[in-house]
Amino acid sequence: MWNGEIETLCREHMREIQTKRLKSVVRRCYENVPHYRESLDSHGVSPDDIRSLDDLVKLPFTYKNDLRDHYPFDLFAAPRRDIVRIHASSGTTGKPIAVGYTRADIELWAECVARSLACAGVTSDDIIQIAYGYGLFTGGLGLHYGAEKLGTTVVPISGGNTKRQVMLMRDFGVTALACTPSFAAYMAEEMRDSGFLAEDFKLRIGIFGAEPWSQSMRHEIESKLNLCAVDIYGLTEILGPGVSCECPYQCGLHVFEDHFLPEIIDPDTEELLPEGEIGELVFTTLTKEAAPVIRFRTRDLSRLYYEPCACGRTLVRMERIMGRTDDMLIIRGVNVFPSQVEAVLLSVGDVDPHYQLIADRSARHMDDLEIRVEMSEALFNDEIRKIEDVEVNMRKEIESALGISVKVKLVEPKTLPRSEGKAKRVVDRRDL
Amino acid sequence: MKVKQVSIFLENRQGRLAAVTMVLGSNDINIRAFSVADTADFGVVRLIVNDPNRACDILRANGFMVTMTDVLAVEVPDKPGGLAYILEILQKARLNIEYLYAFVEKRSDNALVIFRLEDIDTALKVFQENNVCLAPSKEVYQL
């Protein structure tokens, strides 16, 4: 364990730490961020009302929209000169959300990722290949700092270039791989197609996250890559990767709850749900300086377990993400919203677009996104070539808006399902 | 001289073409000539019918995506080199053909070929200058 003292703390002591930190973060938000001050005031809550963890429910939620509305820096609780880094995640209409980190936040992040990697079984003897994208996306740099802190030998290869990934993995004798599960599966195919055997590699641990995946996919990746695959969870709004991570027992993700306080609520009634019940995951950051968030609605569905794990950790465990409460799709680690597609369709001349996003997972375990668009007067032409031009143009525009490759399929009018007048915009056929 | 052609967008799946012909048949629309152009995912069916305006209305009312296009019905000598002769005229005038397809029926002794051209008005003039016979639309609809 990277931080055995915290990771095996008894519940009572953990609650003490959490209570102290919760009081402090609420006060800091109230005093430094106008949005939180207004929000608490309008809910009739004062920082003085927060005396125990049970008072958490008195606090108003923070939504993704709040982060978007205060883009870029208006939710920061630390002065700009103290911010040493900014990450950003994709937004619905081209407008992203920005999250700042102070030096202490970067240190905290590295600590959480070091814990995550250690939890997965990685040690300083390992060589880790980080095949998450480096850049504004939190995946690459997040894993990187944690792995260095742990003392692991880091191969900061970033995403893409599968052949090179496989070559270096073999040449360097890489023992741990961090990337999205779909990319891991894709690399496994690449290895096989290149004539390699699992014995040609020294892989033993896979740390996969940034998109939902199923148990059957885990088993397949494990057998193909001959490693133990664990799930790592995180989101830019809260931190990035390292909010929680599985251990080799693979029975839920250990939440680093001394820094990130989880709750499960009913997404409709917004009531707190008891242990073991499925609902929306809500996080409050307890220690972050630059961009603390109070009761952030993740839209991720999960449940919590408080009994200690066989690995010895007493940290609360969350079930792997079971779905999304809204229409958002996560495709190859990228957030995709139907509204982004709609904006593009309007811009290419479709007056009243009827469309549907269909996510599927191909035989190679890559997430595919097909966008079906109903043919309309504005788009229809008697010539196949011109229709194909429309299709290609649409595809390019959508790809540039979403940042991932998609397939566009034009369909006949009134063929996409509509329920009670409201279109069903998203179909997720992936077995998650 | 221009002939109105009805074009329908269809997904490339079972029963779609049958659906079009059934709707037209039950409304007494007679198909005079047709062609289908397709890709893996979709196709466009082009029809010459006895009453293009009514056919369009009926198809729209039945949920089909329809458009009307002007084409030319060109009489092509029914003998070796007949079509080559017509195409040569167009080539000399540098006129592009989008597509063409033939009628099953003949008009007098000539084959009848539907031409969809990039520039229909110039093509009309060129055909007339070269004494190429075009079938009048009314006759085409009733063939």
> Which pLDDT tens digit goes with each residue over B22-48?
999 999 999 999 999 988 899 999 999
Query: Are A378 and A242 part of one and the same domain?
Result: no
Helix (H, G, I), strand (E, B) or coil at B45: strand
pLDDT class of A324 with cuts at 50, 70, 90: confident
Query: Are A214 and A242 part of one and the same domain?
Result: yes
Query: Are A294 and A365 part of one and the same domain?
Result: no
What pLDDT is stored for residue A94 in this prediction?
56
Q: Say if residue B91's pLDDT is above 70.
A: yes
A408 in any annotated domain: yes
What pLDDT is stored for residue A92 in this prediction?
46
**Separation CA A309–CA A250 (nearest Å):** 10
What pLDDT is stored for residue A418 in this prediction?
64
**Separation CA A43–CA A59 (nearest Å):** 8
Closest chain B residue to A407, measured at CA: B41
A315 in any annotated domain: yes
Could you tell me the CATH number of the domain that includes residue A370? Answer: 3.30.300.30
Q: How far away is chain A from the Cα of B65, in angstroms, using its nearest Cα?
A: 7
> Which pLDDT tens digit goes with each residue over A388-422?
999 999 999 999 988 899 999 999 988 887 654 44
Query: ipTM exceeding 0.90?
Result: no
CB–CB contact A383 B99 (8 Å): yes
Query: Are A292 and A338 part of one and the same domain?
Result: no
Could you tell me the CATH number of the domain that includes residue A260? Answer: 3.40.50.12780
Query: Are A277 and A410 part of one and the same domain?
Result: no
Q: Say if residue A423's pLDDT is above 70.
A: no
What pLDDT is stored for residue A270 in this prediction?
92
Checking B30-39 for CB contacts under 8 A at 24+ apart, the result is B32/B103, B32/B105, B32/B140, B32/B141, B32/B143, B33/B101, B33/B102, B33/B103, B33/B104, B33/B112, B33/B114, B34/B101, B35/B99, B35/B101, B35/B114, B37/A384, B37/B99, B38/A384, B38/B12, B39/A384, B39/A388, B39/B12
Query: Are A279 and A396 part of one and the same domain?
Result: no
**Separation CA A233–CA A254 (nearest Å):** 10
A402 in any annotated domain: yes
Domains of chain B in start order, with CATH, are 2-69 (3.30.2130.10), 71-135 (3.30.2130.10)
Q: What's the first-to-final CA gap in chain B, in angstroms?
A: 15
Residue in B95, B107, B102, B94 with CA at minimum distance from that of residue B140: B107
Q: Say if residue A14's pLDDT is above 90.
A: yes
Query: Are A310 and A347 part of one and the same domain?
Result: no
What pLDDT is stored for residue A420 in this prediction?
46
| Domain stops at, among A326, A346, A363 | A326
**Separation CA B136–CA B3 (nearest Å):** 7
| Domain stops at, among A295, A326, A357 | A326
**Separation CA B35–CA A129 (nearest Å):** 56
Interval A189-217 mean pLDDT: 87
Contacting residues of A for B67, CB less than 8 Å apart: 377, 380-382
Residue in B104, B97, B107, B96 with CA at minimum distance from that of residue B134: B107
Query: Are A264 and A336 part of one and the same domain?
Result: no
Q: Say if residue A133's pLDDT is above 50.
A: yes
| Domain stops at, among A326, A345, A368 | A326
A110 in any annotated domain: yes
Query: Are A208 and A102 part of one and the same domain?
Result: yes
Name the most confidently modeled range: A282-286, A397-401, B71-75, B118-122. A282-286
What tokens appear for A59 in the block?
């606090």
Interval B124-135 mean pLDDT: 92
Contacting residues of A for B40, CB less than 8 Å apart: none
**Separation CA A124–CA A144 (nearest Å):** 13
> Domain limits at A139?
80-326
What pLDDT is stored for residue B105 in this prediction?
76
Query: Are A148 and A244 part of one and the same domain?
Result: yes
Query: Which one of A376, A409, A413 has the shortest CB-CB distance to B41?
Result: A409
Say whether pTM exceeds 0.90.
Answer: no
Q: Say if residue A93's pLDDT is above 70.
A: no
**Separation CA B63–CA B110 (nearest Å):** 37
A50 in any annotated domain: no
A16 in any annotated domain: no
What pLDDT is stored for residue A432 in this prediction?
62
What pLDDT is stored for residue A181 in this prediction?
87
What tokens appear for A14 in the block?
């953990």
Helices B120-129, B82-92: axis angle to 10 degrees equals: 120
Query: Which one of A382, A388, A413 has the shortest CB-CB distance to B63?
Result: A413
> Which pLDDT tens digit goes with each residue over B92-108?
999 999 999 998 777 77
Query: Are A305 and A234 part of one and the same domain?
Result: yes
Number of folded domains that form chain A: 2
Q: Which residue has the tokens 């990450």?
A: A87
A57 in any annotated domain: no
> Which pLDDT tens digit goes with each residue over A207-266?
999 877 777 779 889 999 999 999 999 999 999 999 999 999 999 999 999 999 999 998
Helix (H, G, I), strand (E, B) or coil at A103: helix
Residue predicted with more confidence, A278 or A209: A209
Query: Are A261 and A368 part of one and the same domain?
Result: no
A108 in any annotated domain: yes
The single-letter code of the amino acid at A61 is: F
Contacting residues of B for A415, CB less than 8 Å apart: 11
Closest chain B residue to A373, measured at CA: B11
Q: Say if residue A329's pLDDT is above 70.
A: yes
Q: Which residue has the tokens 């195919």?
A: A189
User: How large a percentage of chain B has pLDDT more than 70?
Assistant: 100
Interval A62-81 mean pLDDT: 94
Q: Which helix (H) or strand (E) holds A109?
A: helix A103-120
What pLDDT is stored for residue A238 in this prediction?
96
User: In chain A, positions 354-383, which contact chain B (CB-CB < 8 Å)?
Assistant: 375-377, 380-383
